[in-house]
Amino acid sequence: MYTPTDFKNGLTLEWKGDLYQVVEFLHVKPGKGAAFVRTKLKNLNNKKTIEASFRMNEQFKPAHVEKSEMQYLYQSGDNYAFMDMKSYEQMELSKSDLGSNVTDFLKEEMVVMVASCDGKILTAELPNSIELEVTETAPNEKGNTSSGGSKPATLETGASVDVPFFVNIGDKIRLNPQTREYQDRVKA
């Protein structure tokens, strides 16, 4: 059993009959009274985030989450086909299983970390840094770039992100898919 002292970011637990993942937590020790933990929890069934506070003696049942590396193969209608890298089994996941932040950046042969509990898919996570080609953006403009401005660009997956002015069509860029932030240009 878990107690609030065991909380850490990413911990998955059962509470009120649902699965939750700890997004943020803060141990609070007021001047008077008992200490408690203030948390943000993400419900893994409906994907909503809630805030809750817990006394230090409360107990939670741990959720047995299995993580496996899966390679993206192809899209079939609204489903995305993946192959387990260990067992070579194939499965199709829907956009709601994956989330739009994942499907916006999926490229064939990309490896994704998929978390499941009792056979139900909970989350899918892309690597922290991915490389994609810019297929559409405004031409490079000369001018005041000391302020570090940006322009919109469309990537090979169809996703739209902001990139610096010096990025051109055909450039490969590295970005963080969780924050959708440009990191750097990949050298050829």
The yes-or-no answer to whether 4-62 and 130-185 have a common fold is no
What pLDDT, on a 0 to 100 scale, did the predictor assign at position 86? 92
| Residue 143 confidence class, pLDDT cut points 50, 70, 90 | low
The residue written with tokens 């200490």 in the block is 35
Q: What is the mean pLDDT of residues 16-38?
A: 90
What pLDDT, on a 0 to 100 scale, did the predictor assign at position 102? 85
Residue 168: Cβ-neighbour burial (10 angstroms; 0-12, 13-18, 19+): middle
* pTM as predicted: 0.71
Which tokens go with 37? 């933990």
Q: Can you tell me the distance from the alpha carbon of 50 to that of 55, in angstroms, rounded to the nearest whole number?
A: 17
pLDDT tens profile 68-100: 999 999 988 889 999 999 999 998 888 877 877
How does strand 172-176 pair with strand 130-137?
Answer: antiparallel
Q: Give the residue extent of every domain in the chain.
A: 4-62, 66-125, 130-185
What type of residue sits at position 166? F
Q: Can you tell me the distance from the alpha carbon of 22 to that of 45, in angstroms, rounded to the nearest whole number?
A: 14
Q: What is the mean pLDDT of residues 117-135?
A: 86
- Whether domain 66-125 has CATH 2.40.50.140: the reply is yes
Q: In terms of Cα–Cα distance, which of 140, 111, 144, 116 is closest to 128?
A: 111
- Whether domain 4-62 has CATH 2.30.30.30: the reply is yes
For the CA atoms of 27, 31, 33, 37, the dihedral, rounded to the nearest 10 degrees, stands at -10
Which tokens go with 95? 């956009």
Which tokens go with 107? 């490229």
130-185: what fold? OB fold (Dihydrolipoamide Acetyltransferase, E2P) (2.40.50)
Q: Which of 46-50, 54-58, 95-99 has the lowest mean pLDDT?
A: 95-99
131 and 125 in contact (C-beta within 8 Å)?
Answer: no
Q: What is the mean pLDDT of the chain?
A: 87
DSSP H helices, 19-167, are 95-98, 100-103
